[in-house]
Structure 1
Amino acid sequence: MKAFDNDAYQYLMDIPLYTWSTHAFYTNHRSSHITNNVCESFNAWIDNLRKMASYNVGPRIATEINKTIENAIYCKVKSAGEHRYEVYDSFIRFLVNLALHTCECKAWQISGLPCKHGVTAIIYIRKKVENYCDTYYNKDKYIIAYSRLHSPFLDLDTLDDTDVLLPTLRRFSGRPRKSRIRKKDEDAPSNARKISTVRCSNCKDLGHNRKGCQRAPEVSVSASQTSVIKQTQQHASAQAKAKSQQVKQIKRFRFI
């Protein structure tokens, strides 16, 4: 302190050492608890600064980092040497390179933010995750982007009226899709319609009704019933032949 600021050193040396220096405290108190108002004064002095974020990235990116850290608690890591680490996510192994900011899952390279495998390796070496984010997300880039004056847009009421044509309607084959494609780990919507299946009243299985049941009991037919069925079929075929001949005669008469 004397080499850094001699005035501050002289200020402290004018104060009795037993009031502020640990090595000069009285030894008969038998208590390690020390209370002073210096910390309270310091906290009151930086009250506005304490509410400010301490991240080097924006608040949205900081939220994403915290979520990734929560998802990384179930991963295990092993050092592979030269900034390389083997991260085990369940039964799958991923190779992470902290020097190149890469992971075999490719999520780090695509988004520029460390994936949960990379976060596991970063926490393993006790480093800050935000320091391994792409420079695109840093506050310096944000300040540079908005350092110049941006011209405001014109009011819509001041623009000239123009006729805007509708885009050409193009219909694709098949029924149009109403619901979007969801991720594998995304829950189904709360208003999703439940799929109903047919249950057989005979065998109580799903997928068919009583008429298509293969376990339906066989019905025995007597000889008299068999003869009646044959006579009915012959009568129906005879009527069909007579009707076809009548139609042919009508066509011939019209032709003549």
Structure 2
Amino acid sequence: MSMDGNSQMFPVAIAVVECETRDSWEWFMGELMDAVGPYNDISFISDRQKGLVETFERMMEGSDHRFCVRHLYENFKLRFKGQQLKIQLWEAARAYTEVDFQQHVTKMRELNVEAHDWLTKVPVHLWSRSAFTDTSKNDLVINNICESWNVVIVEARDKPIIYMLEWIKRHLILRFQCKREWMHTQFRLLCPDIQKALNKVTQQACMCKVHYAGDDKYEVQCYGISEAVDLDKHTCSCRVWNLTSIPCRHAVACIFTKRDSPESYVHPFYHRETYMKCYSGMIFLIPMGMLMKADSIDTLLPPHYRKPTGRPKKVKNKKNDNPKGLTKLNRSKESLKCSKCKENGNNSRTCKLPEPLVIDRPPPKRGGRPPSVGRGKTRGPDGMPARERGRRGGRDRSQRT
């Protein structure tokens, strides 16, 4: 899976293998590189599987390979738990500069030295934006586009191979055509989602103060922090423009000073014309009857059956970190608060506050009228039970009339 010019998923290659092993990954990556071409300007992001990591080291040495931070945190929280450690790990992963990265790593070391040592063993260029290269013009730290695609094909997973591929092909045909028709209704230079992101940055640029130094070089002060911007090289010291190719707020402030349009400084990858070229290719149709009646095609044998471990799964399991609804937040999004010491970061079981002294007190007296004895068997003035009087419908009814 890849990303198109509107920051949406774009399927690149699909294959069916027996299982995710080293041999399968080597075959798949070899076929992928033959179809895609050189990988010098491509960034790959994976879920840190052992077979895939070894394949990158053996077949694609020197490529820009990244780890998904969500999968990295899944391994991290097995040994080190706590909301503050989680916050520092994600902030370190999202930091664009080395200074911000070191600040969050230092805070993690103050919280837990072992967690800091475990995280520093993972190379920084695999999971933090502060060490990413700017060749691919992408700052992704998670591979949610692959998870989104897995949700799309849930309906086709339990089908035979041919029918599964037919379902996926039909889905891609409709998806590509819908993308083309939708983009024909847009008339701006940039794709809609990129234009929204640029408009948001434009509003933030109003808080920046610009100082022109000459040769398209500026010094920008924003919230007490100074950044250096070079409009000719399309760079900024905050590294947001370098990684995304979309001008940051410091760059937009300089562009406004130059009386120019920020849209003209966005990389052509995010232009509407590039988006149309991306979806211009068509998936050729293969009639199912022709495929079944072809005599020149060898009989397709089923793969060797390999029984997976555990209970069979059809629906993807939701992790505790994923939100379960649009209006509800799960417990992972809430701050943990102790019911004893009333502080965040621990619970009543791990609280170090001593147990309060409990004093035995007599039970409180209940007020009000005492309950009647033998409820349902009370007798009236005539000595007849109330139930009998209602059944016979005698005196009380005559006295009322």
* TM-score bucket (shorter structure): 0.3 to 0.5
Asked which structure has the greater RCO (Cα within 8 Å, sep 6+), the reply is 2
Rg larger for: 1
TM-score normalised according to structure 2 size: 0.30
TM-score normalised according to structure 1 size: 0.44
